Amino acid sequence: MDTMARRTTRSLARLKVRGPRSIGLSVLWLGGFVMIVPFVWMILNSFKTAEEILRKPPTFLPTAPTIENYVRLVVDFNFLQFVLNSLLVTGSVTICVVATSALLGYVFAKTRFVGRDVIFWAFLATMALPFEVLAVPLLLMARSVGAVDQLWGLVVPFSLDAFAIYICRQYMMSIPDDYLDAGRVDGLGQFGLFRHIVLPMSRPAIAAVAILSFLYNWDQLFWPLVLITSDSNKTVPLGIVSLSTQFGPIYDLTMAASTVTIVPLLLVFLVFRRQFIQGMMMSGLKG
């Protein structure tokens, strides 16, 4: 009897543990399914004609799959140029953000000087300002230096990111100072400590910063819409908007263009997802 009672108690305990876990996993699977359905629908519609997209009742799978929409994007609308422009701008911004956030994160985390914390919190305070507030001053500055309708004008305003600095600073604070003391004994200066000790140990945080910067700037629309005027310098989001504003609602081409847009984002996240998750988790170890 005692054995049966113990087995019953263990079974009830397992049910208590597995029950909430199963419910949580079910909710996550359901949420993931709800979120992925629109993307699957968009990809499938990119292989349909405009008539089939507007057909009632709608079809889930394309009845006659075609790549004509992608061919028209490249041939008729020069969409490949938009993709190259976005890759150039986003890649340049990401490199700048990684360099500046790593250096400033090290300065705020591992060096001591008067007013360090005040300057750091002043950087974070800029996150409270929406970009729309800064758009007019930035446009006036861009006109004064000849950055209007120039791709480098899309790079400079976003080359410094307060949130990226915060992530690097929080991660670097978790690195023990003993490593830096050992480096000083070996004769390393500040830049040597950063280059040979802190930077290699901060790769997860840097990967997280690079992914976040790439994802955010790839979809940037407002500033290119304000600054860019010629078709040759348009980015991907701006090109998608022009498809609807200049030629009306072209659903088949818009679906194909949107599918092309998400491919680089998926590739970047899938390749670096482990570093991204590790960097985001480790950056919260210290406040």
Mean pLDDT to the nearest integer, 106-120: 88
Rounded distance, CA 33 to CA 29, Å? 6
pTM above 0.95, yes or no: no
In which residue are the tokens 């910067």 written? 213
pLDDT tens digits, one per residue of 200-243: 888 888 888 988 898 889 988 889 988 998 888 999 988 888 87
Burial class, 18, CB count within 10 angstroms (exposed 0-12 / middle 13-18 / buried 19+): exposed
> What six digits make up the tokens of 89?
């701008």
In which residue are the tokens 């519609």 written? 45
Rounded distance, CA 227 to CA 138, Å? 10
Report whether pLDDT(88) > 90: yes
Reference 90, options 242, 238, 255, 219; nearest CA is: 219
In which residue are the tokens 């986003």 written? 90
Report whether pLDDT(77) > 50: yes
Determine the pLDDT at residue 286. 42
In which residue are the tokens 């120039």 written? 150
Span of 13-22, 224-233, 254-263, 269-278 with lowest mean pLDDT: 13-22
